[in-house]
Each structure stands twice: as structure tokens, then as C-alpha cells.
């Protein structure tokens, strides 16, 4: 199949995102994934698409760029950061408290609360034995495609 290269970008501001998946293990050996999603005002990526993929991607309103042959050219001006424990419903109250301790790098020890918004500092996460496992890039709206000549 023949592919063409394009510059892909979001049609709207604040719709380009990256989600970092940070992993750690609980004392029980159970794996925990903590998601840090950062939205950016703008971003450009180079993407290779077949004609069919091009038609499909232009119809989407949420695009996971990692599903394609893509490279990040530039993302800039981060504006919002959201954090969450992936699948937090699968953990017991005790496990959630342990996760809270692993995330609680500011010394606040009030225990886990579903309302907690955790601050994020990669260096402190690494010091608490969190590993960056994967980074997902995406666009949460329709996209613009510009052919690369």
C-alpha cells in the first residue's frame, strides 16, 4: 500500500495532548498505572497515511496518534494537566492508601480521597520508584492534514 506523509495538527487550540503512563508496584506485587495528561495549545506531527487512513482520520473527533506511523515534530504551550489512577475501582481502600503514599511527595498524609488532584514532578516520581512506561499522543477534535511535498 502506498502512503503519503502529512503534517497533522488539531483544528482547535488546547486539543493536542500527551498522556504519560507511569507504573509502580504495590507491596502485594500488584501493578499500578498513574496517568498524567497534558493538553497543549498547539502541536504538529508528521504522519504517514494510506488514502483510506486519510479518509478515516479526517472523520474522527478523537485521534490516538500512536495508532499510526507518526513522529512528534513540536508541541508547545502546555495549558492543562490532569492526573488519575488508571482503573482505580479495581483497588481496595488499603491499596488506594498505599498508592496515595507513593504519589504523595509533598508530605500530606491525609490518605486517599477520590477528590485528590496530584501534583506532578517527573524527578520526584522517579525518586519514588515510578517508571515512565509509555507516552500516548493524541488530538481531541478534528484534525488538519497538510501534505508534505
Query: How far is 16 from 93, CA to CA, in rounded Å?
Result: 34
Range of the domain at 84: 4-147
Output the pLDDT for position 135: 97
Output the pLDDT for position 117: 67
Query: How far is 79 from 42, CA to CA, in rounded Å?
Result: 10
Instruction: Indicate the number of domains in the chain.
Output: 1
Q: Are 91 and 85 in contact (CB under 8 A)?
A: yes
Quick one: three-class SS letters along 3-57?
CEEEEEEECCCCCEEEEEEEEEECCCCCEEEEEEEEEEEEEEEEEEECHHHHHHH
Task: Record the pTM.
Answer: 0.87
Output the pLDDT for position 109: 55
Output the pLDDT for position 121: 77
Query: How far is 133 from 126, CA to CA, in rounded Å?
Result: 12
| Burial category of 30 from C-beta neighbours within 10 Å (exposed 0-12, middle 13-18, buried 19 and up) | middle
- Each residue's pLDDT tens digit in the chain (149 positions)? 899 999 999 999 999 999 999 999 999 999 999 999 999 999 999 999 999 999 999 999 999 999 999 999 999 999 999 999 999 999 999 999 999 888 875 555 565 565 666 777 788 888 889 999 999 999 999 999 999 96
Widest Cα–Cα separation across the chain: 57
Query: How far is 6 from 36, CA to CA, in rounded Å?
Result: 28
Amino acid at each position: 500500500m502506498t502512503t503519503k506523509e502529512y503534517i497533522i495538527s488539531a483544528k482547535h487550540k488546547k486539543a493536542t495532548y500527551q498522556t504519560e503512563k507511569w507504573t509502580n508496584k504495590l507491596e502485594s506485587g500488584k501493578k499500578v498505572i498513574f496517568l498524567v495528561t497534558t493538553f497543549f495549545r498547539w502541536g504538529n506531527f508528521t504522519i504517514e497515511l494510506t488514502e483510506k487512513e486519510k479518509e478515516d482520520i479526517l472523520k474522527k473527533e478523537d485521534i490516538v496518534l500512536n495508532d499510526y506511523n507518526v513522529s512528534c515534530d513540536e508541541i508547545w504551550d502546555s495549558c492543562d494537566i490532569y492526573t488519575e489512577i488508571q482503573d482505580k475501582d479495581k483497588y481496595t481502600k488499603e491499596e488506594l492508601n498505599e498508592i496515595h503514599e507513593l504519589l504523595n511527595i509533598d508530605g500530606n498524609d491525609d490518605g486517599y480521597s477520590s477528590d485528590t488532584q496530584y501534583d506532578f514532578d517527573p524527578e520526584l516520581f522517579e525518586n519514588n520508584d515510578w517508571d515512565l512506561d509509555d507516552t500516548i499522543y493524541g488530538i481531541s477534535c478534528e484534525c488538519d492534514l497538510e501534505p508534505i511535498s
